[in-house]
Amino acid sequence: MQSLTNHFLVAMPSLQEPFFKHAVAYICEHNEDGAMGLVINQPIDVTVGELLDKIEIDNDKSTVAAASQVFAGGPVKTDRGFVLHTPKPGYASSQSLSSNIMITTSKDVLASLTTSDAPEDFIITLGYAGWSEGQLEQELLDNSWLVIEADPSIIFNTPINERWHKALALVGIDADKLSLEAGHA
């Protein structure tokens, strides 16, 4: 089994489950036991500053970071927050997922997000998407997802409403020409 860690799962048009329709999920972990990912293009009606207030972390509301959207990372444990961020020296609690992407749940990192100590780029998600053993592989066989090598610029620098289209464009697919029908050979 090839690990899909550090890849995008891009929802195909046939995937009509409301949470995952047109979703782009970044896979943080994939092994024989299953997979865990964060949806990076489903914003919720909460800003980073509002979220930090809710968990009683002081923050600077005048920063661009404080006004950033928080995302619904998936339907599992929606009360749990995850930060995907660019590498930052001294972030011992962050786990490296690639040379350009790290993940953490650390309050120390959350506290830094509206300060000069923040990583250059980050997003926060609440919840995650999880697949049990063999579930993701079956969904791939069902043509629910397209697997694409992750590009950090889509996570951190692409407008939210363009992330699905841009992820598909990485492999030369025009999203407007995709059919709702899945083909099987």
- What is the domain extent for residue 127? 7-177
Question: What is the tens place of the pLDDT at every residue in 31-88?
Answer: 999 999 999 999 999 999 999 999 999 999 999 999 999 999 999 999 999 999 999 8
For residue 182, being part of any structural domain is answered with no
Question: What separation in angstroms does the CA of 67 have from each of 12, 46, 63, 82, 166?
Answer: 31, 9, 7, 17, 23
Instruction: With a cut of 90, say whether residue 185 has pLDDT above it.
Output: no
Question: What is the tens place of the pLDDT at every residue in 130-176?
Answer: 999 999 999 999 999 999 999 999 999 999 999 999 999 998 988 77
For residue 79, being part of any structural domain is answered with yes
Q: Which DSSP state fits 38?
A: E
What CATH number did the domain enclosing 33 receive?
3.40.1740.10
For residue 184, being part of any structural domain is answered with no
143, 155 in Cβ contact below 8 A? no
Q: How confident is the model at residue 26 (pLDDT cuts 50, 70, 90)?
A: very high
Please tell me the pTM assigned to this model: 0.93
Instruction: With a cut of 80, say whether residue 1 has pLDDT above it.
Output: no
Instruction: With a cut of 80, say whether residue 181 has pLDDT above it.
Output: no
Q: How confident is the model at residue 90 (pLDDT cuts 50, 70, 90)?
A: confident
Q: How confident is the model at residue 179 (pLDDT cuts 50, 70, 90)?
A: low
- What's the rounded Cα separation, in Å, for the pair 167 and 155? 10
For the chain, how many structural domains are there in total? 1
